[in-house]
């Protein structure tokens, strides 16, 4: 099993290597296929992004493209065709450093129907709200797609892209990859639940409690249960 994809205090050479590892894990876990999907990570003076149309198993650290927020880039390759939403999300969202986009099967299936994932399961809260929105469709690589993604991600760490795929955000590569897999799992569960009928959804009040519980546990502390502290180890 490979080491966790954490990026705290990495220099650029290590970050490039970790990004390549993350891309290969995207395909290994099944959330991405072929040359679909893309990945970026913030730097002090811009961001690194995967190149366009290059299979991950052939991509090396030096193939990643250095982009600046004015849209200029340096490197041996052209950046991903989706560089606009990577740039705009990183510029708009100071709370995240990683943008991961993939065409995971079940999330994309819902996106093809422009279906938002509601709070049918409490884990929907991992994306930061009561649902995981689906952005309106726009042609890939366009500014309109970027604008639609920014709108769907307001107050969220993940969204679906209409008739396209999904985006997951994180402070680290590790976090973004984990969330992308979680979104795909939720999408699969939702599709299976819909086979029986439209599932009930948790109330906004309950989801607020769930999200607060998740927030507290993310700091490494389990929640209080009836006034009794559990072990201070996040589970």
In angstroms, the CA 132 to CA 119 distance is: 8
3-state secondary structure of 7: coil
Residue at token pair 């730097």: 43
What amino acid positions are annotated as catalytic residues?
A: 82
3-state secondary structure of 109: helix
Residue 38 Cα distances to 78, 108, 158, 197, angstroms: 13, 15, 15, 34
β-pairing, 158-161 with 165-170?
Answer: antiparallel
Alpha helices in the chain (DSSP H): 12-28, 83-92, 105-112, 143-152, 173-196, 204-218
3-state secondary structure of 40: strand
Strand partners, 186: none
Nearest alpha-carbon partner for 156 in 131, 182, 177? 131
């Amino acid at each position: 099993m490979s080491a966790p994809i954490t990026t705290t205090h990495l220099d650029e050479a290590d970050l490039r290597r970790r990004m390549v590892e993350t891309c290969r894990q995207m395909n290994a876990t099944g959330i991405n296929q072929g040359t679909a999907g893309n990945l970026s990570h913030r730097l002090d003076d811009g961001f690194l992004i995967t190149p366009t149309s290059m299979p991950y198993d052939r991509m090396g650290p030096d193939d990643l493209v250095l982009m600046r927020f004015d849209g200029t880039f340096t490197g041996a390759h052209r950046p991903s065709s989706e560089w606009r939403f990577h740039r705009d999300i990183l510029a708009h969202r100071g709370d995240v450093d990683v943008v991961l986009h993939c065409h995971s099967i079940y999330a994309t299936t819902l996106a093809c129907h422009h279906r938002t994932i509601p709070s049918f399961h409490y884990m929907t809260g991992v994306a930061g709200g009561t649902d995981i929105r689906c952005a309106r469709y726009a042609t890939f690589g366009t500014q309109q797609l970027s604008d639609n993604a920014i709108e769907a991600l307001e107050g969220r760490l993940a969204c679906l892209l209409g008739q396209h795929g999904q985006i997951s955000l994180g402070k680290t590569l590790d976090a973004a990859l984990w969330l992308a897999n979680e979104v795909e799992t939720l999408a699969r569960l939702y599709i299976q639940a819909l086979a029986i009928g439209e599932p009930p959804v948790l109330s906004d009040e309950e989801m607020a409690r769930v999200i607060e519980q998740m927030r507290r546990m993310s700091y490494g502390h389990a929640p209080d249960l009836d006034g009794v502290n559990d072990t201070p180890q996040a589970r």
